């Protein structure tokens, strides 16, 4: 192992030798999973192992996963969790992901990817993800950008901060995933991981590259309930993570001007305020919250306000 700016730099392997583990938690994805499987089967660089986790589905998701595994013995594996009646976002998704990880020794793999079961992507996705990692050895987690179908059926780019990997397709150096302690089993796990990377000196990125384009086959945040409930969960997750109120207002304003117009942003605000007023749980890591708020205030050009004394929302 080599050192790079205080970080441990892993020895790079030739692309054809790099071992990639992909884990896909899926609940009632029969309408979308076949398209994700087709995208994966077409990859120029295939993962060493892809674990399809059927998270207690009541539809044909499990059967579709089994068929993919039987067609591709050796590199696709299916796993079935006990039946349940509803989709559990946040902690439920993370639990299903870890059920997949428990099937292997993670340290046998060089890279880890958490991939959703409702995506389509280029045959060069994993080839390009590996290339990005080799171009920048400081990358800890990275991804492409999301394109989604909005409520009208129109496909559009989903705006994401370039300093975050997207939750539907998170690619990690295995070493970095272990260093950050993996995923927090709560809503906003997919923001906490990126900030933890930065705390440890790594970078988190999403790239606007055609070969890294991820087509999300339904509106973001609509997998449980509807998109408005999804935005409220987002606001509650921002509170859990420890987001500064001023930064939260920036998020709300930013999201007012995209579908669902106005109401999407207002529901984020509602979720945050409801969590604050009711004294909801927050991520129990004060050092992380201080780091987060410094980063957020720097983004707003208000670094002098960083490190507020109160933990509950302000």
- Do 138 and 245 belong together in one domain? no
- Do 52 and 176 belong together in one domain? yes
- Do 11 and 61 belong together in one domain? yes
**Which residue's entry shows tokens 């993919």?**
68
- Burial string for 212-241 (b: 16+ CB within 10 Å, else e) reads bbbbbbebbbbbeeebbebbbbbbbbbbbb
What pLDDT is recorded for position 159? 84
What pLDDT is recorded for position 311? 38
What pLDDT is recorded for position 90? 61
Residue where a domain terminates, one of 197, 216, 235: 216
- Do 297 and 203 belong together in one domain? no
Supply the pTM of this predicted model.
0.86
CATH of the domain at 163: 3.90.550.10
- Do 33 and 82 belong together in one domain? yes
Q: Is residue 167 part of a domain?
A: yes
* CA 116/CA 111 separation, integer angstroms: 16
Residue 25's domain comprises 2-216
Q: Is residue 144 part of a domain?
A: yes
Counting the structural domains of the chain, the total is 2
Residue where a domain terminates, one of 161, 190, 216: 216
Strand partners, 171: 113, 142
Nearest to 98 by CA among 81, 76, 83, 82: 81
Give DSSP secondary structure letters for 34-64.
Answer: HHHHHHHHT-SS--SEEEEEE-S-SSSHHHH
- Do 211 and 127 belong together in one domain? yes
- Do 238 and 210 belong together in one domain? no
What pLDDT is recorded for position 314? 38
- Burial string for 257-283 (b: 16+ CB within 10 Å, else e) reads eeebeeebbbbbbbbbbebbeeeeebb
266 close to 227: Cβ distance less than 8 angstroms = no
24 close to 116: Cβ distance less than 8 angstroms = yes
Lay out the sheet containing 155-157: strands in order across: 119-121, 214-216, 146-149, 155-157
- Do 142 and 278 belong together in one domain? no
- Do 41 and 154 belong together in one domain? yes
Q: Is residue 313 part of a domain?
A: no
The segments of the chain whose pLDDT lies below 70 read 1-16, 85-90, 150-151, 219-225, 305-314
């Amino acid at each position: 192992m080599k050192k790079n700016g205080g970080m441990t730099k892993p020895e790079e392997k030739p692309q054809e030798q790099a071992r990639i583990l992909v884990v896909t938690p899926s609940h009632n994805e029969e309408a979308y999973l076949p398209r994700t499987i087709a995208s994966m089967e077409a990859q120029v660089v295939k993962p060493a192992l892809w674990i399809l986790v059927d998270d207690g589905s009541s539809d044909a998701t499990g059967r579709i996963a089994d068929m993919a595994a039987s067609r591709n013995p050796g590199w696709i594996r299916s796993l079935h969790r006990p039946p349940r009646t509803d989709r559990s976002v946040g902690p439920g998704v993370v639990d299903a992901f870890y059920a997949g990880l428990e099937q292997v020794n993670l340290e046998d793999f060089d890279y880890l990817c958490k991939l959703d079961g409702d995506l389509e992507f280029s045959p060069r996705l994993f080839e390009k993800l590996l290339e990005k990692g080799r171009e920048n050895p400081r990358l800890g987690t990275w991804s492409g950008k999301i394109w989604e179908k909005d409520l009208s059926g129109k496909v559009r780019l989903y705006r994401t901060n370039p300093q975050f990997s997207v939750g539907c397709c998170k690619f990690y150096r295995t070493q970095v995933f272990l260093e950050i302690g993996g995923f927090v089993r709560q809503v906003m796990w997919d923001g906490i991981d990126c900030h933890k990377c930065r705390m440890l000196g790594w970078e988190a990125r999403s790239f606007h590259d055609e070969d890294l384009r991820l087509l999300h086959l339904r509106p973001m945040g609509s997998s449980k309930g509807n998109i408005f409930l999804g935005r409220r969960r987002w606001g509650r997750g921002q509170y859990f993570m420890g987001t500064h109120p001023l930064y939260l207002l920036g998020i709300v304003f930013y999201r007012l001007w995209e579908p669902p117009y106005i109401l999407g942003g207002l529901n984020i605000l509602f979720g945050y305020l409801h969590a604050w007023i009711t004294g909801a749980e927050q991520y129990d890591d004060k050092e992380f919250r201080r780091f987060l708020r410094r980063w957020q205030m720097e983004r707003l050009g208000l670094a002098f306000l960083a490190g507020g004394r109160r933990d509950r929302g302000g």
